[in-house]
Chains A and B, each alone.
Chain A
Amino acid sequence: MSDDSRSLPVVQDEGIPGEPPEAAVSRRAFLQTVAGAGAAAALAACDVESSLRRHFKELSKEEVERLIQKVQRDHEARFGKKDWKVTARAPMPGVEFGYGLDLSRCIGCRRCVYACVRENNQSRDPQVQWIKVLEMDKVRGVDVIESDAYYEADAVPRPGKFYMPVQCHQCRHPPCTKVCPVKATWTEPDGITVVDYDWCIGCRCCMAACPYGARRFNWATPGIRAEEVNPHLAVLGNRVRPKGVVEKCTFCIQRTREGRYPACVEICPVGARKFGNLLDPKSEIRYVMENKRVFIFKEELATRPRFYYFYAT
């Protein structure tokens, strides 16, 4: 039994839950961030190599290898020496990822939001978060217009409320990839919709098209401190994005293509998050779909998500 199967990323020696991440930022660290962002911006401006390369899907094996090296160089230049591991792993054959979220369990603690931010190198400032947890009234049911993503409480779940985390639904008929003018975003054979950050023009059509509010724009250069960066990177996943491009949940592509659970699944303290291979009849996600009451968010839009809400009880 190796310890690396115990991969729960919940023990943090920094970033105490309950404290806003920015509160921990010292002035010096902040200045470093600013300086780093400035340098990165200057770098991005003359990043001819990224701007001139071909579409990711047209790259040969060697070119992908060069891209991986370039991504590592860029990260090293900005964040310094780290145990960098840059990947561009192909989808596994016979795998189509599916996700289940148990609405009867979720307590709205937002642990998933911040585990995702840490795992996927989202910008801390300006704040980018791929998961949004909606607080809803039990008497109203799922009613987004009356929902509240900004609830604050001493303890959750609050009486009379239930919680619905929303993130990319990895649709089978994704409206976002359909509208992209340059094919900078597409769905991989394993069902993950990815973005080629070097290809995106930042027109934000996909954000207008997404019914789940799942896509995020880098309104500025992502602000992340060097010690916060997760060095395990995927080229089409959690590498630090340039400014002016769209990003989104990739089911933690850098983890799941290596067989591991996404970070949000592992952090969830109540086990409300389920993940697995839809093509494997023995997977937990298939069990959920066959044995539980499943509901599809905005089913009428026929996006056919690979993300299912369910009620275990």
Chain B
Amino acid sequence: MHANRIAVFLRGCARLVSRGGRWYFAWLALLALMIVTGIAGYARQATHGLIATNMRDQVSWAFYIGNFTFLVGVAAAAVLLVVPAYVYAWKPIKEVVVLGEMLAVSALVMCLLFILVDTGSPQNMWHIFPLIATPNFPSSLLVWDAIVLNGYLIINVTVVAHILYKLFNGKAYDKRVVVPLVLLSIPWAVGIHTVTAFLYNGMASRPYWNASILAPRFLASAFCSGPAILLVLFQILRKTTGFPISDEAISKIAEIMSYAMFVNLFLLGAEVFKEFYSATEHSVYTRYLFFGLHGHHAIVAFAWIAVACSFLAFLLFVVPATRRNIYTLNLGCALIFAGVYIEKGIGLVIPGMTPDTLGEIYEYTPTATEWMVAAGVFGVGFLVYTLLVKIAVPILDGRFQAGMDVPLEVAPEAKPAH
């Protein structure tokens, strides 16, 4: 009986994702292309080993792990939007929760995939499972990360699935299930980012990471980049699906982001002061990041671009006029996204390992294989989000329930924001 209803729900979901307009399928085709590219890249990497990347003993974590770190921030921040949604009692609270959690789910899928493609012996991955193998708990932060990320994934999938399933069956969602889980997901979001920060932070061998400011900086930057993505998504959905979110709500998010940006810049400034004023041998990594070292300058330009992006975005968000203007707001979103992506993807991992623990400088740049694999992972993540949104929006606004035909006008299409 119940199994039957679930089957109906799943069939309904399948019907939703299998129908859509030209743009929808064009977007799916693009994602499929990305995924195929990724599979090709990964096949090459699996055959030859990680030598297909440009990681070496000197820089043994790089592009994959940088993307992983950035996406943990996205996953965390998406859910943190639930807080303002509650505080300001927005009308479309359940939509905000569901869309935020779906973004978290997609980001987590990408996170786990980036970890998977980064491991040298994925066939041994099961050794991390409890009971059947030997997780090094509580000592290893990677085990903690695996626990919190998977836990977070389960929480978010549960909430989203529950809400959609109930609405699909024409019922209100069960507050006793959803509210505690949503409330749990908020500290958990802080948790995943803190644990990920600690993964780096705990490495006393790498002074660039071994600074207590690292976890706060992670959170601050996540509060900038995660909502930036959601702001743009909200606008896209509002345009393509009539998603009911007000200018007021968007402006509130932007306001919160401006605080986060300030904290982010402040913490960066605090770190820069400490490094350059004390100028110990530990400041060599920050020096490499911003000025280069021994004639090696590969990431200096990126470092300054990231700072410039973050600073400009802060200006755009802190001035009410530019915050309310949709164009400058979106420009700010793009800038802060770029700023944080560079900061996490390049500025965190690479200087942490350059120079290496014996002072050697190896200037890493990703290989084509790494770009291909990353494209594939992003393709999977975007696909997951696209399909989830395609299912969720018509169910959320009540246009699609058990026994109904698929509404024709609800194809969320991947158009640019404008």
Q: What mask results when residues 47 to 61 of chain A are scored 1 for a CB within 8 Å of chain B, else 0? A: 000010001000000
By the criterion CB–CB under 8 Å, are B205 and A146 in contact? no
A180 beta carbon closer than 8 Å to chain B = yes
Categorize the interface residue count of chain B. 35 or more
A132 beta carbon closer than 8 Å to chain B = yes
Q: Would you give the shortest CB distance from A12 to chain B, in whole angstroms?
A: 26
Q: Which of A155-163, A215-223, A256-264, A288-296 contacts B (4 or more CB under 8 A)?
A: A215-223
By the criterion CB–CB under 8 Å, are A212 and B357 in contact? yes
Q: Give the residue name and chain of the B residue nearest to A216 (CB).
A: B57
State A219–B115 Cα separation when bound (angstroms). Answer: 16
Q: What mask results when residues 189 to 209 of chain B are scored 1 for a CB within 8 Å of chain A, else 0? A: 000000000011011111000
State A310–B404 Cα separation when bound (angstroms). Answer: 81
B55 beta carbon closer than 8 Å to chain A = yes
By the criterion CB–CB under 8 Å, are B358 and A203 in contact? no
Instruction: Report whether over half of chain A's contact residues are helix, strand or loop; otherwise say mixed.
Output: loop
A203 in contact with B57 given A144-B359, A147-B358, A213-B357 (CB within 8 Å)? no
By the criterion CB–CB under 8 Å, are B61 and A183 in contact? no
B21 beta carbon closer than 8 Å to chain A = no
Q: Which of B120, B142, B143, B284 contacts A145 (CB 8 A)?
A: B284
Q: Would you give the shortest CB distance from A202 to chain B, in whole angstroms?
A: 2
Q: Which of B133, B142, B356 contacts A55 (CB 8 A)?
A: B133
B146 beta carbon closer than 8 Å to chain A = yes
State A147–B53 Cα separation when bound (angstroms). Answer: 27
B325 beta carbon closer than 8 Å to chain A = no
Chain B residues near A200: list those with CB within 8 A. Answer: 120-121, 124
State A220–B46 Cα separation when bound (angstroms). Answer: 10
Q: Give the residue name and chain of the A residue nearest to B126 (CB).
A: A51
By the criterion CB–CB under 8 Å, are A244 and B136 in contact? no
By the criterion CB–CB under 8 Å, are A210 and B136 in contact? no
B56 beta carbon closer than 8 Å to chain A = yes
By the criterion CB–CB under 8 Å, are B204 and A175 in contact? yes
Q: Which of chain A's residues 134-162 have a Cβ closer than 8 Å to chain B?
A: 134, 143-147, 149
By the criterion CB–CB under 8 Å, are A181 and B120 in contact? no
User: Could you write out 28 A-B pairs with CB less than 8 Å apart?
Assistant: A55-B134, A144-B358, A145-B281, A147-B359, A149-B358, A175-B203, A175-B205, A179-B140, A179-B202, A181-B142, A182-B124, A200-B120, A202-B124, A203-B118, A207-B57, A207-B60, A208-B61, A211-B204, A211-B205, A212-B358, A213-B356, A213-B357, A219-B55, A220-B49, A220-B51, A243-B49, A244-B120, A244-B121
Identify the B interface with A (CB < 8 A). Answer: 47-51, 53, 55-58, 60-61, 115, 118-125, 127-128, 133-136, 139-143, 146, 199-200, 202-206, 281, 284, 352-353, 355-360
> Told that A179-B142, A199-B134, A202-B119 touch, could you supply 8 new A-B pairs with CB distance under 8 A?
A41-B47, A126-B51, A175-B204, A202-B124, A205-B141, A211-B357, A217-B60, A218-B49
Identify the A interface with B (CB < 8 A). Answer: 41, 51, 55, 126, 132, 134, 143-147, 149, 166, 175, 178-184, 198-205, 207-213, 215-221, 242-246, 298, 301
